[in-house]
Chain A
């Protein structure tokens, strides 16, 4: 990744001379920390080398000796040996120069990854401090090692490397994972806050520091206004997303979440734009020569840069979405298209001196919606993970740089400047938060409370962005660059560690007034029930959008954009695409494992059978509470949980599947009984085959599993997950009626009777005994997996293939499978 090749003489000890001459080049030109850091690794490689050399020596000796003794033609060999040139041809040689740079970079990244693994192994740690803390510590450690063994000058990260290679992945990831709907709902507030906030912070801090610099006592007289403003702009770049993971558990409400996210997103872009403009100013004139017209030009430039960047990003987003429309048959290049176009948007914007960051953000946001629907399942996963990986790598490297440059002699410690920087950062952030939100609250229907504002204020954690910008200040224009770097580092350390660690408790404190730890089981159950109830009612109420614009955009989107950008034969609903991500295999596994596992329980079952009054010991109560807490379903989170450093595991999907399956079954069972749900549909007009899981052979259990996923109870359009099977089955179904997505009354589903069906019928009492040892953990109530094998197909032979092919419809990537069954299917 580092292409600055600077083979300065390595000042390491001779022992490492062999390998470190090029080692040295990796971006820390002038500083041989790598030589020393590499000592650590060199130790291993030396060992390896020694062993290898020994081996080779030994083997060559062995060769010679065998040559001389056992060979039928020793002379030839001897001759060959003796005619070798003076230097031996090494049987085993090492070529470090060749792999130097990638080798070192890989080792660094591995080191950081190992540290992250360790970080997550201890469960409580991620909730305790943000992950950027960890990265900084790793970097500092590396720097300390290097520093401890040799005194070197600071490392240098090239400006072009940072801007061209390290920054885009980070920004792309931010833009891609941003939840668009809440973003656009709050876009007014977000733009107001992020834009103006960054400006206020930058200029406020810059000006205050300039005033401080005027005070002769601090010896900062040589720092002029422009430099201070520049410093202010780079120090105001916050990275609050890093702390989101810390207070994730406290249910931060959605608008607040979006504000923080949006701020992080736009903040980088604005800082960089400001930074570049101010650098241009600095290069241009001395301060005194700057006229008002220049300032106006600067402002105009700011706006143009921002808007232009967004414009280009959107265009590229559309282009890439359009292209993914045609990549059905070569799905392997889909991630490539996504990444290349995003990167291209960045580069094009940079070419025109527009804001590449905003461009790539806009590209990601635009393209996400359409691309997600177009690409295959595996490409979708690939894109997500690869993006995370890239951004993770970039950020790791930046933090390592930061850590390395912390430990060193290249600091210019000026107490006044640093302390005042810290103070002013906090003050100006507080001012901007409270002032701006006061204003925007007037226009919001649901204003932000003071608590929310405090959280926003406190989440002003600086990150890698500030450090990079400080690091890349051109020394020629900024003679006191070291001081700036030092101050930046101090601010980052302070905010990341102190604020990052304390924000969790703060949020929890603000959120939860009284935590009654001694909740009885009763309370726990009821609380959870109420949470679910509340979430459900919220869903009934729906999202209230206030913007006509959004509705209009949706219409426009539906009518035109989607037609152009999305592939032809896709179902229309967005929930459908969510469903696609539930995989059948997982569902089967879940059922199978669900049946076979049982959680350890301390109470002996028989003894505690329900008989009037019985007292349970406290430990039993505790274990019960444990079971409840661990096994109760999570309430559906309206706020999306975004973790910058990892992709959330799919526990919510698993939960959703369980719930869905359970619902299907209860509904079917009650349908069969013809009661409890006031649907008024007669239950007996069809022959339903009942299969219970443990009893079925794998084939039919698979079938029943699938059928359990298909529900055919009423539902016309496709918002309902279960009903959404219909559109899927539509694309491959036999029935035009189905495709029309009408109401499908249950009673119409009828299949030619199969008397043998009923031989499988097992009712409750038998069920219990039959299951026996195998825990039918699902339910013991009458619970049948109704197999809907009729799909008006009327034909048995086709039924397997129908179901199989219908399942294949679910999997976008097994489209070919579906095609093979096309004779049976009427594709809509």
Chain B
């Protein structure tokens, strides 16, 4: 990363990205620099392996799923726009965002609903709009240490699904998911301060 190597002019589709994600110019510049650092062979896009190089992600229990979320629909590459789009979900919500909401425009990517949707998709691998019991169990397994037995995990999963499930279909839909978390401060939990 040499000094001054990234100029705003080199970022493709800057204005579109800015409008879509709501990032400031400075943040986009930083993100672009980061994108370029991650992009090992200067391909112009990120592949899965590039993201796997991030050592800290390897020891994150949800590392794989987080990486997956960058590659929606089975893509193998993600360009800068896609990269930023994912990160935009974690932009802190500022007052003016919610204030000047134009009803015709789509929700900004960092709205509460969109944040929840992003989290939801971490659970819902098959993208059927519901978190089945199996999917919940998988996530639970990922997040829990090895000392917990299978029965315990299953019981916990059952309980989890049971608590959230309102229409009794044994799975948690997005609506139910959002409802179970209505008391939580999602805006703060899923915002990263430096992504302004």
Q: Are A and B co-members of a single complex?
A: yes
A215: chain B residues at CB < 8 Å are none
The residue in chain B whose Cβ has the minimal distance to the Cβ of A573 is: B55
**A104 CB, nearest partner CB in chain B, Å:** 46
Interchain CB contact under 8 A, B159 and A533: no
Query: Given that A532-B62, A537-B87, A542-B37 are known contacts, is A522 also in contact with B180, CB under 8 Å in the complex?
Result: yes
Q: Give Cα A255 to B144, complex, Å.
A: 30
**B69 CB, nearest partner CB in chain A, Å:** 9
Among A324-332, A613-621, A812-820, the stretch that binds chain B is A613-621
Interchain CB contact under 8 A, A663 and B149: no
Interchain CB contact under 8 A, A522 and B160: yes
Determine whether A304 belongs to the interface, using a CB cutoff of 8 Å to chain B. no
Determine whether A631 belongs to the interface, using a CB cutoff of 8 Å to chain B. yes
A601: chain B residues at CB < 8 Å are 149, 151-152, 155
Interchain CB contact under 8 A, B151 and A716: no
0/1 string, A528-553, CB within 8 A of B gives 1: 11111111111111101000100100
Interchain CB contact under 8 A, A613 and B162: yes
Q: Contact check: which of B57, B123, B155, B191 meets A608 at CB < 8 Å?
A: B155
0/1 string, B156-176, CB within 8 A of A gives 1: 101110111000101000000
The residue in chain A whose Cβ has the minimal distance to the Cβ of B30 is: A544
Interchain CB contact under 8 A, B62 and A658: no
Among A163-171, A424-432, A481-489, A718-726, the stretch that binds chain B is A718-726
**A628 CB, nearest partner CB in chain B, Å:** 7
Interchain CB contact under 8 A, A536 and B156: no
The residue in chain B whose Cβ has the minimal distance to the Cβ of A516 is: B183
A659: chain B residues at CB < 8 Å are 58-61, 63
Interchain CB contact under 8 A, B143 and A532: yes
**A781 CB, nearest partner CB in chain B, Å:** 8
Interchain CB contact under 8 A, A719 and B141: no
Determine whether A796 belongs to the interface, using a CB cutoff of 8 Å to chain B. no
A627: chain B residues at CB < 8 Å are 148, 152, 156
Determine whether B51 belongs to the interface, using a CB cutoff of 8 Å to chain A. yes
**A125 CB, nearest partner CB in chain B, Å:** 26
Interchain CB contact under 8 A, A720 and B52: yes
Candidate in B51, B53, B74, B155 with the most chain A CB atoms within 10 angstroms: B155
The residue in chain A whose Cβ has the minimal distance to the Cβ of B148 is: A631
Q: Contact check: which of A513, A539, A613 meets B60 at CB < 8 Å?
A: A539
Q: Give Cα A633 to B74, complex, Å.
A: 28
Query: Given that A551-B1, A679-B48 are known contacts, is A535 also in contact with B189, CB under 8 Å in the complex?
Result: no
Interchain CB contact under 8 A, A614 and B158: yes
0/1 string, B122-157, CB within 8 A of A gives 1: 110000000001000001111111111111101110
The residue in chain B whose Cβ has the minimal distance to the Cβ of A535 is: B60
**B193 CB, nearest partner CB in chain A, Å:** 7
B163: chain A residues at CB < 8 Å are 520-522
Q: Contact check: which of A525, A551, A608, A720 meets B53 at CB < 8 Å?
A: A720
Among A5-13, A66-74, A403-411, A591-599, the stretch that binds chain B is A591-599
Q: Give Cα A667 to B65, complex, Å.
A: 12
The residue in chain A whose Cβ has the minimal distance to the Cβ of B141 is: A779
Query: Given that A540-B54, A678-B76, A716-B40 are known contacts, is A598 also in contact with B62, CB under 8 Å in the complex?
Result: no
Determine whether B71 belongs to the interface, using a CB cutoff of 8 Å to chain A. yes
**B92 CB, nearest partner CB in chain A, Å:** 12
**A594 CB, nearest partner CB in chain B, Å:** 4
Determine whether B64 belongs to the interface, using a CB cutoff of 8 Å to chain A. yes
**A579 CB, nearest partner CB in chain B, Å:** 9
The residue in chain B whose Cβ has the minimal distance to the Cβ of A518 is: B183
Determine whether B49 belongs to the interface, using a CB cutoff of 8 Å to chain A. yes
Interchain CB contact under 8 A, A528 and B31: no
Interchain CB contact under 8 A, A717 and B194: no
Determine whether B80 belongs to the interface, using a CB cutoff of 8 Å to chain A. no
B62: chain A residues at CB < 8 Å are 529, 532-533, 536
Candidate in B56, B61, B147, B195 with the most chain A CB atoms within 10 angstroms: B61
The residue in chain B whose Cβ has the minimal distance to the Cβ of A514 is: B185
Query: Given that A540-B66, A636-B56, A777-B146 are known contacts, is A624 also in contact with B194, CB under 8 Å in the complex?
Result: no
Determine whether B14 belongs to the interface, using a CB cutoff of 8 Å to chain A. no
A624: chain B residues at CB < 8 Å are 152, 155-156, 159
Determine whether B192 belongs to the interface, using a CB cutoff of 8 Å to chain A. yes
Determine whether A527 belongs to the interface, using a CB cutoff of 8 Å to chain B. yes
Q: Give Cα A597 to B152, complex, Å.
A: 13
Determine whether B100 belongs to the interface, using a CB cutoff of 8 Å to chain A. no
Interchain CB contact under 8 A, A631 and B144: yes
The residue in chain B whose Cβ has the minimal distance to the Cβ of A714 is: B49
Interchain CB contact under 8 A, A678 and B149: no
Q: Give Cα A780 to B181, complex, Å.
A: 30
0/1 string, B72-90, CB within 8 A of A gives 1: 0010100000000011001
Determine whether B184 belongs to the interface, using a CB cutoff of 8 Å to chain A. yes
Interchain CB contact under 8 A, A777 and B148: yes
Determine whether A715 belongs to the interface, using a CB cutoff of 8 Å to chain B. yes
The residue in chain B whose Cβ has the minimal distance to the Cβ of A638 is: B56
Q: Contact check: which of A537, A594, A680, A717 meets B192 at CB < 8 Å?
A: A537
Query: Given that A540-B57, A720-B55 are known contacts, is A533 also in contact with B148, CB under 8 Å in the complex?
Result: no
Query: Given that A521-B156, A522-B163, A608-B155 are known contacts, is A528 also in contact with B143, CB under 8 Å in the complex?
Result: yes
Q: Contact check: which of B55, B59, B87 meets A541 at CB < 8 Å?
A: B87
Determine whether A655 belongs to the interface, using a CB cutoff of 8 Å to chain B. yes
B87: chain A residues at CB < 8 Å are 537, 540-541
Known: A446-B194, A525-B143, A526-B119. 19 other contacts (CB 8 A): A522-B163, A523-B180, A526-B180, A527-B189, A534-B191, A537-B192, A548-B3, A608-B158, A610-B158, A614-B162, A627-B148, A631-B144, A631-B147, A636-B59, A662-B142, A719-B54, A720-B53, A723-B53, A777-B148
Q: List 19 A-B contacts (CB under 8 A).
A: A523-B180, A526-B119, A528-B143, A529-B62, A529-B123, A540-B57, A540-B66, A551-B1, A594-B147, A597-B147, A599-B149, A599-B152, A613-B162, A616-B159, A631-B147, A659-B60, A680-B76, A715-B49, A717-B40
Q: Contact residues of B with A, CB < 8 Å?
A: 1, 3, 30-31, 34, 37-38, 40, 48-49, 51-64, 66, 71, 74, 76, 86-87, 90, 119, 122-123, 133, 139-152, 154-156, 158-160, 162-164, 168, 170, 180-181, 183-186, 189-195
9 tightest A-B contacts by CB?
A: A594-B146, A539-B56, A656-B59, A536-B66, A719-B53, A605-B151, A575-B55, A631-B145, A536-B60
